[in-house]
Copies of this chain bind each other. A is one copy, B any other.
Amino acid sequence: MYDGIVQDLIDEFGRLPGIGPKSAQRITFHILQSPSFDVSHLARLLAEVREKVRFCEVCGNVSEQDRCSICRDPRRNETLICVVEDAKDVAAIERTREFRGLYHVLGGAISPIAGVGPDDLRITQLMQRLADGKVQEVILATNPNLEGEATATYLSRLLHTLEIRVTRLASGLPVGGDLEYADEVTLGRAFEGRRTL
């Protein structure tokens, strides 16, 4: 519909997740028309990110160095490892400021439908980190869905052969939520996990 590279840029934005053709067009025109938008800065960042950003060789989190800022931080509790599916989950947990241990990013969850098996995840690397016996607890923080639960079950069986405490994040009602609108499974979990006051 547009001449040459304008359409090319719209198509390219349309390939990004969550951006439909209308959004892609809107973004492209913003870039074309907004004098304040620094397009060369974005172009440079894109090139730099792909060039410089790698994954932490210890935990698999995103990092500009061999080891990420969390693994390098001496104040973090090295006896505690929180296992997550994705680096985005690390950021979500860090925002809570509740957890001061280390992370281990699996790079996904076991999913027979998507063809992802245990060998496709960073499980061997996790076992290597646990080999020296320093770690006392592994928190399984995979997503509370089918794939995440399957992965947690698989890992908990594997980890029970070691003498390490294995825990799973609590399931229950979201804080600020409404009991009336909770789904049956979540409400069921909230009952199962009820605590004495």
Chain A residues with a Cβ closer than 8 Å to the other chain, count: 51
Bound: A138/B84 CA distance, A: 61
Contact with B along A2-26 (1 / 0, CB 8 A): 1111101100110111110001011
Partner of A43, one of B5, B37, B44, B65: B44
Q: Quote the shortest CB–CB distance from A25 to chain B (angstroms).
A: 6
A88 within 8 A of B: yes
Tell me whether A1 and B95 are in contact (CB under 8 A). Answer: yes
A13 contacts across to B, CB distance below 8 A: 42
Q: Which interface residue of A4, A43, A63 has the most chain B CB atoms within 10 A?
A: A43
Residue of B nearest to A11 (CB): B45
A63 contacts across to B, CB distance below 8 A: 3
Contact with B along A27-59 (1 / 0, CB 8 A): 111111000010111111111111011000000
Copies in the complex: 2
A4 contacts across to B, CB distance below 8 A: 64
Majority DSSP secondary structure for residues of A touching B: helix
Tell me whether A31 and B3 are in contact (CB under 8 A). Answer: no
A12 contacts across to B, CB distance below 8 A: 41-42, 45
A173 contacts across to B, CB distance below 8 A: none
Residue of B nearest to A45 (CB): B9
A68 within 8 A of B: yes
Q: A16-B27, A30-B16 are in contact. Are A45 and B5 (CB under 8 A)?
A: yes
**9 A-B pairs in the complex with CB atoms less than 8 angstroms apart:** A1-B91, A6-B49, A9-B46, A15-B37, A16-B30, A31-B50, A32-B62, A39-B49, A46-B46
